[in-house]
């Protein structure tokens, strides 16, 4: 695949993610100031449940459609109608069990909230195949306009409702409207439409590859959401709110960078699946470039955590600062995980992918069991330790599949890590300035950017030169 085309789609995808997330976070910050941490924790519980259910729709078949070389309208239509039916069934089950879930958490108000926000499952059933079609055909420009349209519309409505005193329902409406409007825009801008055809045989063929990825995603998502569910049950709503807000800022960056790389890298690697050497080269480039982008953002955020939380959320949310710092280190590892796992999926080895996921989930359960009685912060540190161990686990198969060893990956990461750590230390020293949180934050961002980019140019780092070269080519080609 043409490198310019890959980079162009990566830029569109990154622009879509960063724009949407920045707008969404404004809404979340407004709600965080208007809602008490305990109330915000109630929303977090509901979103954890719907996130788990969405995995059943958004994983497996969508990836199988992208990976299959000769996928046609019959494949896409079969998956579309199956997904839609499955979504309706899941939603009806959620409606039926909403009072039970509310009873477990001793929050009667959850019943109605769950039944309304659960409509996201129906929307996901329509959106999933659209996303697979766009990804397979590298039409990420369509994602940009669909996502931004949905996010802007939802932001206006959500902020208006928050200011009018709708409380938790402002968040629920904003969340649903965001997904609904984005799905509708994608529906009218992407040419593909489901045809009145269905093939159990095609579905079975896709399922033979996709079920392993589905099982992996279910295991991964349940594992990721296990800690919030336990914290919400065992500790207080405020504890869960601080834990979740600690994720908010690093996750803003990670979702933008990592989701962009993930969605573009899989179809690009799938086109090269018959050449292990090409897969290795593309995976290595992805690790270098994504680490070059991710590490300074995470180290910078870690250093800026206190003034950022004080300015954006207020003093009531200061207890979330340690969680921000822990999750910065945890999420900094994500680009390496993503590149390794996409290489495995692109080469058609969903069986290995599932085995890795089982190993990691067993490890996760052990760490949760150990840290459960030590407090919320210990559970967060346990997740960080798990992330480090999983670097070894995820990289292991690629030593054989495409001859990209863990030691080679460390060499690809190390320059960006070292430069980012030095930059982060310099930025952290500015927190001792006797000025307000906003001036401190501005100075930290300016110093961090100047140091990192200046030293990158001085040392002529390979990923810096590559990104700069590709950006110049894109600008020359722009009308």
Residue ranges per domain, the chain?
A: 235-479
Whether the CB-CB separation of 76 and 133 falls below 8 Å is answered with yes
pLDDT, one tens digit per residue, over 130-139 is 777 777 776 6
Per the model's pLDDT, the better-predicted residue between 209 and 421 turns out to be 421
Residue 12: pLDDT band (50, 70, 90) is: low
State both tokens at 375: 């407090």
pLDDT in tens, 277-291: 777 877 888 888 888
What integer pLDDT is reported at residue 8 of this predicted model? 56
- The residue with greater pLDDT, 188 or 217, is 188
Contact 78, 203 (CB under 8 A): yes
58: confidence class by pLDDT, cuts 50, 70, 90: low
Sorted by sequence, the CB contacts under 8 Å of residue 342 that are 6+ apart come out as 262, 265, 266, 269, 283, 286
Report the 10 Å Cβ neighbour count for 197. 12
> What is d(CA 394, CA 356) in angstroms, rounded to the nearest whole number?
7
| pLDDT recorded at residue 388 | 93
Tokens of 471: 């950006």
| Percent of residues, the chain, with pLDDT higher than 70 | 78
The pLDDT of residue 330? 93
Question: Band of the pLDDT at 268, cuts 50, 70, 90?
Answer: low
Token pair of 379 as six digits: 């559970």
SS3 56: helix
pLDDT tens digits, one per residue of 190-206:
778 888 888 888 877 77
Whether the predicted pLDDT of 52 surpasses 50: yes
pLDDT, position 454: 93
Closest CA to 50 of 204, 201, 229: 229
pLDDT > 70? residue 98: yes
Average confidence (pLDDT) over 355-380: 90
Q: What's the rounded Cα separation, in Å, for the pair 305 and 301?
A: 6
The pLDDT value recorded for residue 475 is 59
User: Which stretch, 54-58, 63-67, 173-177, 452-456, has highest mean pLDDT?
Assistant: 452-456
Distance in angstroms (rounded) separating the CA atoms of residues 103 and 471: 54
CA gap 451, 223 in Å, rounded = 38
Contact (CB, 8 A) for 61 and 79 = yes
Model pLDDT, residue 379: 93
Is the pLDDT at 22 greater than 80? The verdict is no
What does the pLDDT read at residue 233?
Answer: 80
**What tokens appear for 98 in the block?**
């909403």
Question: Is the pLDDT score of 101 beyond 60?
Answer: yes
The CA distance from 435 to 423, in Å, is 21
Among 115, 252, 131, smallest CA distance to 183 is for: 131
Contacts made by residues 160-168, CB under 8 angstroms, sequence distance 24+: 162/27, 162/30, 162/31, 162/34, 167/34, 167/35, 167/39, 168/35, 168/39, 168/42, 168/43, 168/113
* Phi-psi label, residue 107: left if phi above 0, alpha if psi -120 to 50, beta otherwise: beta
CB neighbours of 351 closer than 8 A, spacing ≥ 6? 212
The pLDDT tens digits for 66-87 are 767 677 888 888 888 888 888 8
Q: What is the pLDDT of residue 2?
A: 47
- The position carrying tokens 């990721």 is 224
CA distances from 224 to 38, 116, 221 (A): 21, 24, 5
Predicted confidence (pLDDT) per residue in 308-354, tens digit: 988 888 888 889 999 999 999 999 988 888 888 878 877 777 778 88
The DSSP symbol for 76 reads: H
SS (H, E, C) 236-285: CHHHHHHHHHHHHHHHHHHHHHHHHHHHHHHHHHHCCCCCHHHHHHHHHH
Confidence of residue 451 (pLDDT cuts 50, 70, 90): very high
Question: In which band, very low, low, confident or very high, does the pLDDT at 474 lie, cut at 50, 70 and 90?
Answer: low
For residues 139-164, give the mean pLDDT. 77
- Statement: residue 380 has pLDDT above 90: yes
Kindly indicate the confidence band of residue 425, based on its pLDDT and cuts at 50, 70 and 90.
very high
* Residues 405 and 393 sit within 8 Å (Cβ to Cβ): no
Q: Which residue has the tokens 């052990």?
A: 366
**Mean local confidence (pLDDT), 299-303:** 94
For residue 220, the model assigns a pLDDT of 72
The span from the CA of 382 to the CA of 371, in Å, is: 7
326: burial class by Cβ within 10 Å (0-12, 13-18, 19+)? Answer: buried
Nearest alpha carbon to residue 10 among 478, 470, 475? 470
Q: How far apart are CA 275 and CA 17, in angstroms?
A: 30
For the chain, the average pLDDT equals: 80
CA distance 138 to 140: 6
Q: How far apart are CA 424 and CA 392, in angstroms?
A: 25
Indicate the helix (H) or strand (E) that contains 194.
none
Q: 22-26, 261-265, 382-386: which has the minimum mean pLDDT?
A: 261-265
Give CA angle at 478 (476, 479), nearest 5°: 115
* Most confident range, picked from 55-69, 115-129, 223-237, 427-441: 427-441
State the sign of the Cα–Cα–Cα–Cα dihedral 360, 362, 366, 368: positive
Q: How much is the average pLDDT of 1-10?
A: 53
Say what the pLDDT of residue 187 is: 83
Centroid of chain to Cα 438: 28
- The angle subtended at Cα 210 by Cα 204 and Cα 213, nearest 5°, is 155
């Amino acid at each position: 695949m043409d490198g310019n085309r890959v980079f162009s789609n990566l830029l569109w995808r990154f622009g879509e993610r960063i724009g949407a997330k920045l707008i969404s976070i404004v809404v979340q910050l407004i709600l965080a100031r208007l809602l008490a941490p305990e109330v915000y924790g109630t929303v977090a519980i509901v979103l954890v449940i719907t996130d788990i259910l969405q995995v059943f729709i958004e994983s497996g078949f969508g990836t199988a459609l992208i990976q299959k070389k000769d996928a046609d309208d019959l494949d896409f239509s079969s998956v579309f109608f199956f997904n839609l039916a499955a979504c309706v069934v899941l939603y009806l089950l959620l409606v039926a069990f909403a009072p039970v879930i509310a009873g477990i958490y001793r929050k009667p108000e959850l019943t109605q909230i769950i039944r309304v926000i659960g409509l996201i499952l129906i929307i996901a059933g329509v959106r999933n195949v659209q996303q697979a079609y766009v990804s397979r055909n590298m039409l990420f420009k369509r994602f940009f306009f669909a996502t931004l349209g949905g996010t802007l519309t939802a932001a206006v409505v959500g902020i208006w409702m928050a200011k009018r005193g709708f409380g938790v329902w402002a968040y629920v409406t904003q969340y649903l409207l965001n997904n609904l409007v984005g799905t509708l825009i994608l529906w009218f801008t992407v040419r593909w439409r489901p045809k009145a055809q269905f093939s159990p045989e095609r579905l079975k063929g896709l399922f033979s590859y996709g079920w392993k990825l589905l099982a992996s995603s279910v295991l991964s998502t349940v594992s990721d959401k296990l800690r919030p569910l336990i914290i919400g049950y065992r500790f207080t709503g405020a504890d869960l709110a601080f834990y979740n807000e600690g994720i908010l800022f690093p996750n803003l960056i990670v979702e933008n960078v990592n989701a962009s790389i993930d969605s573009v890298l899989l179809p690009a690697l799938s086109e090269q699946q018959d050449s292990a050497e090409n897969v290795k080269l593309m995976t290595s480039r992805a690790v270098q470039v994504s680490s070059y982008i991710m590490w300074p953002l995470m180290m910078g955020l870690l250093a800026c955590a206190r003034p950022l939380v004080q300015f954006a959320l207020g003093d009531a949310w200061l207890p979330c600062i340690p969680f921000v710092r822990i999750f910065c280190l945890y999420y900094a590892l994500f680009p390496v995980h993503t590149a390794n796992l996409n290489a495995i999926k692109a080469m058609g080895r969903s069986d290995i992918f599932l085995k890795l996921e089982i190993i990691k989930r067993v490890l996760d359960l052990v760490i949760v069991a150990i840290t459960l009685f030590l407090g919320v912060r210990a559970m967060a540190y346990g997740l960080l330790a798990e992330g480090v161990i999983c670097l070894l686990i995820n990289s292991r198969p690629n030593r054989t599949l495409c001859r990209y060893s863990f030691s080679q990956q460390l060499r690809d990461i190390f320059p960006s890590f070292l430069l980012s750590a030095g930059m982060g230390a310099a930025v952290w020293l500015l927190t001792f300035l006797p000025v307000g949180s906003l001036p401190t934050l501005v100075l930290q961002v300016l110093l961090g950017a100047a140091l990192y980019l200046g030293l990158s140019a001085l040392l002529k780092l390979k990923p810096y030169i590559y990104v700069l070269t590709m950006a110049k080519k894109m600008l020359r080609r722009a009308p």
